[in-house]
Amino acid sequence: MTKIIGLTGGIGSGKTMVANYMKSLGIPVYIADEEAKKIMDTHEVVKLVQNAFGNTVINNNKINREQLAKLVFNNPKQLQKLNAIIHPIVKQNFDNWVKNQVNVPFVVKEAAILFESGGDKYCDSIITVTAPLEIRLERVIQRDKTNQKSVLDRMKNQWPDEKKIENSDYVIHNITMDDTKNQVDNILKILKNQ
């Protein structure tokens, strides 16, 4: 049975960089956010979202992500409603993906909200990527061409690092690229020998 390693971290922690490094080493990595974006473009999901949130979030038979984000980001009930549509479909997509990964000791599921979505329950081990708040803010402001308030608002929808670390098997402190790669290499050695 293929083991599932969860990879998570708050916005700007560098979990995608860690995931891409793992991919470069030949490890199968499933990026949940990327897959969720593809799934949100499917006819089935567009209809479910339209039924749940109305026509204001639909534009040319596609989900208007900006409009939907405005509705859900500062409204926990609406966010919960959206997650109830998306998460089960992403889980099914992930399960199908895992079945296609053969002759590998483990796969990695990278998900920003692994704990918040309950995805941690399906993982054999969990790695959390962290970085100091100032570094995380700087990374996201540069990457998304946004402002500090917007990033802090998005962070409020995620578990704090302390809570993630408490529930994780491994922690990567992502400050410099070389040091982070060394930490990843050490964790992968342990995982391969289990």
Q: Express each pLDDT in 88-126 by its tens digit.
A: 999 999 999 999 998 899 999 999 989 988 899 999 999
How many Å separate Cα 91 from the centre of its chain? Answer: 12
Q: State mean pLDDT over 156-166.
A: 92
Q: Which residue ranges make up each domain of the chain?
A: 1-28+107-194, 35-100
Single pTM value for the model: 0.90
Please check if 54 is assigned to a binding site: no
Fold type of domain 35-100: Rossmann fold (3.40.50)
Please check if 17 is assigned to a binding site: yes
Question: Contact, 127 vs 186, CB < 8 A?
Answer: no
Q: State mean pLDDT over 123-145.
A: 95
What b/e string do you get for 6-16 counting C-beta neighbours within 10 Å, with b at 16 or more? Answer: bbbbbbbbbbb
Please check if 150 is assigned to a binding site: no
Please check if 2 is assigned to a binding site: no
Q: What is the pLDDT of residues 11-32, one digit of tens each?
A: 999 999 999 999 999 999 999 9
Please check if 125 is assigned to a binding site: no
Predicted confidence at residue 35, as pLDDT, reads: 93
Sign of CA dihedral 169, 25, 116, 112: positive
Please check if 16 is assigned to a binding site: yes
Matching CATH topology for 1-28+107-194 and 35-100?
yes
Fold type of domain 1-28+107-194: Rossmann fold (3.40.50)
